[in-house]
Amino acid sequence: MDTTPDLSRRRWLRGGLGTDRPAQSLPWAVPWSQFADRCTRCGDCVRACPEHIIINADGGFPAIDFARGECTFCGDCANACSEPLFRSRDELPWQQHATFGEPCLTRRGVHCRSCEDGCEPAAIRFRPRLGAVAQPELNRDACNGCGGCVAACPVGAIEVVKEEQA
């Protein structure tokens, strides 16, 4: 039995995008252990995405890069895949939400609402604060994890994290 560690798979789990977080999986994707076993890395999903947000991450496995845009949940990636790697499109595509990090301009007293404009489900609100710049707050129930806010942020302060990472 080959016991050589598969470094590319480990890197994918660490992020594949230069971060310590797991790489962003595709909508409706089965859990990673099953995905890694069956994905042939053919690139059909990458080519199928009309938003061009699926990249070949480390090891050639597909991952979403929200810096390129948002997921519209069109399902084209899942439909293009010839392997049993995607759940029913009747189910939730994923359980994840946006988080606002330290680089957010409002934490330095700078007015900014770009993420609000990028959020189609209107899950981001700015509550007025007495004598201070309003900061973004997330309505988690409204956030569908589409990532539209990520590219909208001028300083890269937003990450989309899975529920279990939050």
Interface residues with ligand SF4 (CB under 6 A) are 26-27, 48-49, 51, 53-54, 64, 71-77, 97-98, 100, 104-106, 112-115, 118-119, 121, 123-124, 136, 138, 143-149, 152-153, 155, 157-158, 160
State in angstroms the smallest separation of the CB of 95 from ligand SF4.
Answer: 12
- Compare residues 10 and 89 and give the one whose CB is closer to ligand SF4: 89
The answer to whether 81 and 89 are in contact (CB under 8 A) is: no
For the CB of residue 62, give the shortest distance to ligand SF4 in the complex, in Å: 9
CB of 136 to ligand SF4, least distance (A): 5
How crowded is the C-beta side of 74, counted as CA atoms within 13 Å? 13
Residues 103-125: b if buried by 16+ CB within 10 A, e if exposed: ebbbeeeeebebbbebbeeebbe
- Kindly tell me which of 7 and 40 has the beta carbon lying closer to ligand SF4: 40
3-class state of residue 160 by DSSP: strand
Task: State which residue, 36 or 155, has the beta carbon closest to ligand SF4.
Answer: 155
Give the strand pairing for 132-138 and 124-129.
antiparallel
Of residues 60 and 75, the one with the C-beta less far from ligand SF4? 75
What is the closest distance, in whole angstroms, from the C-beta atom of residue 16 to ligand SF4 in the complex? Answer: 16
142 with 123: CB under 8 angstroms? yes
C-alpha–C-alpha distance, residues 59 and 81, integer Å: 18
